[in-house]
Amino acid sequence: MDSSNNQPSNEEDATAPPRDSKCKKRKGRGSTTLPEITKNRSAGVKIVVEYDDDGNPIGKDGSKFVSYLGVLARTMVPIVHEK
């Protein structure tokens, strides 16, 4: 067996940075906006959310509700840290 195929050569070093001199920073995923919930709210449609005995939302609509609350918290609640 030829062992030269198992190890990358200097030209193909796996840890080397990309050769493109104009490296662009990779974009992240971004925040979820849940447009279907926003449209329903604007149209006056109410979604019924069921809760378990501990008060946690359950079911498909419960998980959407929790996600929407996270979106509201990230977009509307400022993060203030005072020393």
For 6-46, how does the pLDDT look when each residue is reduced to its tens digit (9 = 90+)? 555 555 555 555 555 567 777 777 767 788 888 888 999 98
The C-alpha atoms of residue 16 and residue 79 are separated, in whole angstroms, by 38
pTM of the shown model? 0.53
Query: Cβ-count burial of 49 within 10 angstroms (0-12 exposed, 13-18 middle, 19+ buried)?
Result: middle
Whether 76 and 33 have beta carbons less than 8 Å apart is answered as no
Using a pLDDT cut of 70, give the percent of the chain over it: 70
